[in-house]
Copies of this chain bind each other. A is one copy, B any other.
Amino acid sequence: MNDKKPLILISNDDGVTAKGINELINTLRPIGDIIAVAPNAPRSGAACSLTVTTPVFYKLNHEEEGLKIFSCSGTPVDCIKLALHSIVPRRPDLVIGGINHGDNSAVNVHYSGTMGIVLEGCMKGIPSIGYSLCDHNPDADFNPLKKHIIEITSEVLKHGLPEGICLNVNFPLTETFKGVRICRQTRGVWSNEWASCPHPYKDNYYWLTGSFQKSEMAEDCDAWALSNGYVAITPVKIDVTAYEVIEPMKKWNLSF
């Protein structure tokens, strides 16, 4: 590892063997030294979850000049916590999650293991970015994303990010992008979320599924950008306080 090049810590939630993370590693090697610490199995929908009832292991899978790849038994957030505690030789300049096989825009930010990685990096004070492609295909074509990922990553290295703020970058499924939009999170709700199947001996079992119903389609929303062929960059905050209700709630009748 070269002290003069940026050090980039990478993880994902699709697992260390997924195409997306390996394409991300290859894309970013020209601009930094890479340490990847990623789950040893798929962890989609892991959010910011932690492993608390079992211990966590990691092992080195691959090493060459400027690159080390580890697999880890924990969640995506465990990967970042463990990497920062035990694996990296110095504080990384960036934490990057992805490239996720699937959309993390709108309220999906809350369920996303990719964004769990990014929130964790951000909570540790490191500029952090999540990259996701709106395509669940395990062999998705990430080539159209590469120059944009280099550009966005380089801009974050140059400008940094304010304390407590990270980026959720989603790419639409199209070969050419119309441009990039700095967006806000789209309001909406998941519905029809379970497919039930009869169990051979008792009751049903349920598979998570569902469709996302956007409740708005304004031009400043990430879902609008993606539906219209734009790359959506949604800046995300660690501080989730609803400041606007603090004063009104002080008038509630809470007689302590």
Contacts and interface: CB of A to CB of B under 8 A. Distances in A.
A55 B196 CA distance: 9
A200 to B, nearest CB: 13
Contacts of A208: 50-52, 56, 78, 81
Given A235-B246, A236-B241, A193 B81 contact: yes
Contacts of A249: 182, 233, 235
Chain A residues touching B, majority SS:
mixed
How many monomers of this chain does the complex have? 2
A256 B59 CA distance: 39
Contacts of A116: 47
Contacts of A199: 57
Contacts of A193: 81, 85
Interface of A: 42, 44-53, 55-57, 59, 75, 77-78, 81-82, 85-86, 107, 109-111, 113, 116, 119, 123-125, 148, 151-152, 155, 159, 161-162, 164-165, 177-180, 182-185, 187, 189-190, 193-194, 196-197, 199, 203, 205-208, 220, 231, 233-246, 249-250, 252-256
20 contacts: A42-B53, A44-B52, A44-B53, A47-B49, A47-B116, A48-B110, A52-B208, A56-B207, A81-B208, A110-B238, A148-B254, A152-B254, A155-B253, A162-B242, A177-B256, A184-B241, A185-B240, A187-B239, A233-B249, A236-B241
